[in-house]
Amino acid sequence: MGFARACSVALAGVEGVVVEVQADLEPGVAAFTLVGLPDKSLVESRDRVRAAVVNSGAEWPQKKLTVGLSPASVPKSGSGFDLAVACSVLGAAERIDPAAIADVVMIGELGLDGRVRPVRGVLPAVLAAAEAGYRQVVVPEQTAGEAALVPGVSVLGVRSLRQLIAVLGDEPVPDEPVAEEGRPDPMLAGLMVPGAGIGTGLAAGGRGAGQQPDLADVVGQTRARKALEVAAAGGHHLLLSGPPGAGKTMLAERLSGILPPLSRRESLEVTAVHSVAGILPPGEPLVTRAPYCAPHHSATMQSLVGGGNGLPRPGAVSLAHRGILFLDEAPEFSGRALDALRQPLESGHVVIARAAGVVRLPAGFLLVLAANPCPCGRHTLTGAGCECPPSAVRRYQARLSGPLLDRVDLRVEVEPVGRADLMGSGGRGESSAEVAARVRTARARAVERLAGTRWTANSQVPGHELRTRLTAAPGALMAAERDMERGLLTARGLDRVLRVAWTVADLRAADRPDASDIAVALELRTGIHRGALLKAGAS
């Protein structure tokens, strides 16, 4: 009786569980049984593995073969187990040494000709293997760079099962043909989900330096530019309201250009989500800039927070993790979809429960909402001829519920651009690079102040910390207390005013917020013009 085992990884969202793939050969009628809660694509691996082994020059054992996936209670899905199944069978048949594969994690799909095809989710799978104590990983050659991002793990990238057999048996490694230069590599098809990038509104420009939209292209909009700077410096959610053509979308598209680059840890988190979702471009194994995700207003609740058949897949809130989620024409989104954002806005993650299991996905994003004042958009314009009845205006504005808006720190009215600004007589504003430098300095001050805690930005600090340990200057909260007594602020709103005030203080390099910083935060929070924002200076 022959027995061998190898390892692979079962993914649930962006978290993985190491699965032991065991192969057992017994005398009897030739048969292949696969057990351990496999899904349809995994059950079909029996035919793929048999053909790949035979076409790789190895002999298929003519005995009763049982392959078990342990732990048997964990659902397994996808074709990434093929490589581990093939090697465990060859180990049980003594074609390769069973000891050589016992503690090796193998991830990859097999073609009928023995080629190893890449699969999605390699980075989170290797991260799970490293956390479980495994130090040797075999992956398809095309995803070796992605797997190598995990420190302390030895990665072997192979193009075919023949090459892996030769490496494990200490034999000469055969050469495999590669795609001709200039022609697409068909092996990369498994890395991308058709239509995934288009359906989520994910901007490719957010992945690298590339052609980033520059804030200098925006003319006028002093208040909105200042709000953008505060949002980027503290990670605060933002509502831009105003008539069509005022520049709301233009401003939101330039927010990612002033956000600081992702840290190594943040890059791994974002890359893991994009790898699972199938939107990680080949040749770009690491996402280094904050993503920018702008789904269409017809998006369903499942496409925003995650869902799908079987185990849920990441939605737009997870694809925008550590970046920006921009909802243009926000009142046009369904009420269920908008209200589903409440929980991830507070917690930074989303928990999706389905019959197949419960998945926890990261969702720490910066929300930017853009809204018109009424269905026609001309309600706030003098002499523009808005014909919307007051009931229609109230209904339209009520689509953004109070509980959702209470979680938005900054609310700015975007005024139409005047002729003088548009024709260039007002001069160009500051560039994204100049504003980004101030944002980085402010973020560095916040990180230094919050050292030793689990928070890295002002928007993450709990309210009790702001009222006890990180206090404002004496008497600075008088205006905020008056607004709270008048009902203009809730308890959550007061906490968010304090967070914004700390960000404003960081931007002007102050030790702690004073009354002027609180006034700016109140103006940004309530949307009521008090003159404080303009006095504070604009970018």
Q: Is 181 exposed, middle or buried (0-12, 13-18, 19+ CB in 10 A)?
A: exposed
- The answer to whether 414 and 251 are in contact (CB under 8 A) is yes
> pLDDT tens digit string along 237-258?
999 998 888 889 999 999 999 9
Does residue 208 or residue 289 have the better pLDDT? 289
pLDDT of residue 199: 46
Minimum mean pLDDT range among 93-102, 159-168, 483-492, 528-537: 528-537
Dihedral angle computed from the Cα positions of residues 330, 331, 336 and 338, in that order, rounded to the nearest 10 degrees? 30
**pLDDT > 70? residue 363:** yes
Spatial separation of the C-alpha atoms in residues 244 and 377, rounded to whole Å = 6
- From the list 36, 27, 33, the residue with the least C-alpha distance to 49 is 33
Kindly state the helix (H) or strand (E) to which residue 162 belongs, with its residue range. Answer: helix 161-168
When pLDDT is cut at 50, 70 and 90, the band that residue 194 belongs to is low
Q: State how far the alpha carbon of 93 is from the alpha carbons of 24, 62, 110, in Å.
A: 9, 10, 19
When pLDDT is cut at 50, 70 and 90, the band that residue 202 belongs to is low
pLDDT of residue 12: 87
pLDDT of residue 206: 47
pLDDT of residue 251: 93
- The answer to whether 458 and 502 are in contact (CB under 8 A) is yes
Q: State how far the alpha carbon of 372 is from the alpha carbons of 241, 331, 382, in Å.
A: 6, 8, 15
Query: Hey, what are 241's tokens?
Result: 């309201």
Q: State how far the alpha carbon of 259 is from the alpha carbons of 225, 367, 495, 538, in Å.
A: 13, 13, 23, 17
When pLDDT is cut at 50, 70 and 90, the band that residue 273 belongs to is very high
| Rg of the chain on CA atoms, in Å | 27
When pLDDT is cut at 50, 70 and 90, the band that residue 1 belongs to is low
Minimum mean pLDDT range among 129-138, 264-273, 349-358: 349-358
- The answer to whether 230 and 524 are in contact (CB under 8 A) is yes
- What residue type is 387 in one-letter code? E
> pLDDT tens digit string along 390-420?
899 899 989 999 889 989 999 999 888 776 6
pLDDT of residue 122: 95
**What's the farthest any 2 CA atoms get from each other in the chain?**
90
Phi, psi values for residue 369, rounded to 5°: -105, 140
If you count DSSP H runs as helices and E runs as strands, how many of each does the chain have, helices first?
Answer: 24, 16
Mean pLDDT of 259-288: 89
**pLDDT > 50? residue 303:** yes
Q: What is the mean pLDDT of the chain?
A: 88
Q: How far is CA 195 from the centre of its chain?
A: 17
pLDDT of residue 182: 60
Sign of CA dihedral 285, 290, 295, 301: positive
When pLDDT is cut at 50, 70 and 90, the band that residue 277 belongs to is confident
The H-assigned helical ranges of 172-247 are 196-200, 222-234
Q: Which residues lie below 8 Å from residue 110, measured CB to CB, with a gap of 6+? A: 45, 48, 49, 52, 79, 82, 83, 86, 116, 117, 161
Q: Percentage of the chain with pLDDT > 90?
A: 60
**pLDDT > 50? residue 539:** no
Mean pLDDT of 92-110: 95
When pLDDT is cut at 50, 70 and 90, the band that residue 476 belongs to is confident
**pLDDT > 60? residue 200:** no
**pLDDT > 80? residue 372:** yes
- The answer to whether 312 and 306 are in contact (CB under 8 A) is yes
Mean pLDDT of 200-208: 50
Strands 357-362 and 349-354: antiparallel
Task: State the DSSP string of 387-406.
Answer: ---HHHHHHHHTTS-HHHHT
Query: Hey, what are 469's tokens?
Result: 């340990």
Compute the residue count for the chain.
539
- From the list 328, 237, 253, 327, the residue with the least C-alpha distance to 291 is 253
> pLDDT tens digit string along 154-181?
999 999 999 999 999 999 999 887 766 6
Mean pLDDT of 440-458: 93
Spatial separation of the C-alpha atoms in residues 46 and 120, rounded to whole Å = 20
Query: Hey, what are 158's tokens?
Result: 């192979």
Q: State how far the alpha carbon of 246 is from the alpha carbons of 342, 373, 413, 418, in Å.
A: 28, 12, 10, 10
Q: State how far the alpha carbon of 249 is from the alpha carbons of 107, 257, 326, 493, 521, in Å.
A: 41, 14, 9, 26, 23
When pLDDT is cut at 50, 70 and 90, the band that residue 426 belongs to is low
Peptide bond preceding 213: is omega within 30 degrees of 0, i.e. cis? no
Query: How large is the angle between the packed helices 491-507 and 222-234, nearest 10 degrees?
Result: 100
pLDDT of residue 43: 93
Beta-bridge partners for 109 = 117
Q: How far is CA 54 from the centre of its chain?
A: 41
Minimum mean pLDDT range among 146-150, 268-272, 383-387: 383-387
Beta strands, E only, 225-272: 238-241
Dihedral angle computed from the Cα positions of residues 354, 356, 361 and 367, in that order, rounded to the nearest 10 degrees? -30
Minimum mean pLDDT range among 92-106, 186-200, 234-248, 478-492: 186-200
- The answer to whether 356 and 311 are in contact (CB under 8 A) is yes
Phi-psi region of 220 (alpha: psi -120 to 50; beta: other; left: phi over 0): left
**pLDDT > 80? residue 213:** yes
- From the list 153, 123, 164, 157, the residue with the least C-alpha distance to 9 is 123
Q: State how far the alpha carbon of 445 is from the alpha carbons of 254, 469, 503, in Å.
A: 23, 16, 9
The H-assigned helical ranges of 278-357 are 301-305, 316-319, 335-339, 342-347
- The answer to whether 134 and 7 are in contact (CB under 8 A) is yes
Query: How large is the angle between the packed helices 491-507 and 478-485, nearest 10 degrees?
Result: 150
Mean pLDDT of 445-456: 92
Query: Hey, what are 538's tokens?
Result: 């604009």
